[in-house]
Structure 1
Amino acid sequence: MIRKIVQIGSPALRQIANAVAQSDIPSNNIQSLIDDLIETMRDSNGAGLAATQIAVPLRVCVIEVNKNPRYPYKPDIPLTVIINPKITFLTEERINVYEGCLSVPNLRGKVDRCPEILVEGFDREGRDLKFTSKGISAGTFQHEFDHLDGLVFTDRMHDNSSLSTIDEFALNHEDEFKRQVINIVKTYGS
């Protein structure tokens, strides 16, 4: 079922999500939530969606990039369901990249992200999940996990002067950002 995505200003976006007991993962409630997150993310052409974005305060999110029209420069990420995610930064380095958000419509802004992370959690079957993510894709995971801690990308911006509408981003910044992404992918992989 496609759910309503809450927008910035909604108290639901500022909630810190609750962990899901591993024994609850197979339940109809959690499995339906995962299905709804996937369907809602795909319907909105999102690169990811956290449960707090549909006003469900549980530590569940989905991520998928598959030739996404909102982010044509992002490398593909296969559908990934992550429950109770934990991130470990693997480098002190940071990349400053543009982000957008389904809960902050029509805006993009630059955020510092760690380009090499270790992701841990559970998959939708309740099995342990552990993998590394690099480059632009690492930023996508960090963005979604921030939602589970009540944060949106604008909270991570150090310089608000990069904030722009989608149209102004396309007109004034997208070409340069695409070149930056190509270099990040060359350096870190996807």
Structure 2
Amino acid sequence: MNITDWIQALSSIIALAISTFAVIQTYKIQKDSYKPYINVYAEFIDTVTASKYISIKNFGKSPARVTYLKFSKKLDEANEDTNMQSIIGTTLAPNQKVMTFIDNEYSEKLTATIHYTDKRNHLYSETFPLNLDVDAFIWTPENLPNSEEKAEESSEARAIRIAAHAILKKIK
């Protein structure tokens, strides 16, 4: 074998290695793009008065089955018995979201740890910081959670506020 044969052989080996690497990377990217991505986050909705929620949403492109959910602190009084445990065993479709109302007086900073599996039973574990301190966010005086004007609103205004609130919850 002369030098040109060695150069051609080496070039072929390098080209084969590069194409193999590219195929492996493409596979990894495709695999990642179709896995579920569940996120736990605090959500604030402002419709004349502010309300807050803890939301769990699957931002991925495949379904996810929730196997574990734990908060670092107890939730508010309405949620302290359940702590959203009813979601365990539930499958969240892509873009599906579940949420629970949190009392506006509850202002804790906590973490949520969630474990979930994909349709191939691969286990994922995520921890998310949650800041439920309303004072940390900018509110106008009119929509503070304990606004005196809220108590004085008419039944028509209350109905409009509740309807707007429900619409915003659906489209967020």
Task: Find the structure with the greater CA-based Rg.
Answer: 2
TM-score between the two structures when normalised by the length of structure 2: 0.29
